[in-house]
């Protein structure tokens, strides 16, 4: 009887191990997001995107007590902080919408223009323009003292027309 109990226990353990090893697990939340983005056909970076450093010349220089500090460059994107008295008051960015075609959609119904380009307010802290249906130029407030009118004024300081010229040139493959 004891020997039968041991054999039965061993058989049950083996069966349990086989069943648990063969069972499919639900994907983790990270795997699920990866699957969803892959199914939508999202690409991290398209080859035609420009290098982030190529955008730097279009950012406005720091003036009137503001300092511009570049903080990030990657293919299709560049970012700079705007500081006043050593405090971050805004973030300025240029992004190539080839990497995020959905970003263009929010400008389709825009009736506002800044520097001749369609503009949108995004929430309470961001204002953006779309240059030649390709480049999104955005200013985000990081301090309550930096208002919507400040964001609009800084967007006008960008060399938007210069940026428009590079969007009409053939694109080089990013490396």
pLDDT of residue 67: 95
Assessment of whether the complete model's pTM goes beyond 0.75: no
Strand order in the sheet with 66-74: 66-74, 77-84, 87-96, 135-141, 126-131, 117-122, 112-114
The Cα–Cα gap between 49 and 55 comes to 11
CB 78 within 8 A of CB 93: yes
The answer to whether residue 47 sits within a structural domain is: no
Instruction: Give a yes or no: residue 13 inside a domain.
Output: yes
Closest CA to 77 of 58, 53, 44: 53
Range of the structural domain that residue 114 is part of: 52-167
Number of domains in the chain: 2
Of the candidates 36, 43, 60, 28, the residue with the CA atom closest to the CA atom of residue 137: 60
173 is a domain residue: no
Residue 172 within a domain? no
Q: Tell me, what's the pLDDT at 161?
A: 95
Please give the average pLDDT of every successive group of 10 residues along the chain, which has 175 residues: 77 71 61 53 59 92 92 93 95 91 89 95 95 95 95 97 76 39
């Amino acid at each position: 009887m004891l020997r039968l109990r041991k054999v039965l226990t061993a058989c049950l353990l083996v069966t349990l191990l086989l069943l648990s090893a063969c069972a499919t697990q639900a994907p983790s939340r990270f795997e699920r997001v990866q699957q969803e983005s892959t199914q939508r056909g999202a690409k991290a970076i398209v080859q035609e995107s420009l290098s982030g450093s190529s955008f730097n010349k279009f950012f406005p220089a720091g003036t009137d007590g503001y300092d511009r500090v570049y903080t990030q460059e990657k293919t299709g994107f560049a970012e700079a902080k705007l500081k006043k008295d050593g405090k971050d008051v805004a973030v300025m960015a240029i992004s190539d919408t080839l990497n995020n075609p959905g970003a263009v959609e929010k400008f389709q119904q825009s009736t506002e223009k800044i520097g001749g380009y369609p503009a949108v307010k995004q929430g309470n802290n961001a204002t953006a323009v779309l240059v030649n249906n390709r480049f999104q130029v955005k200013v985000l407030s990081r301090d309550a003292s930096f208002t919507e009118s400040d964001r609009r004024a800084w967007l006008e300081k960008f060399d938007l027309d210069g940026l428009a010229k590079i969007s009409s040139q053939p694109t080089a493959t990013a490396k």
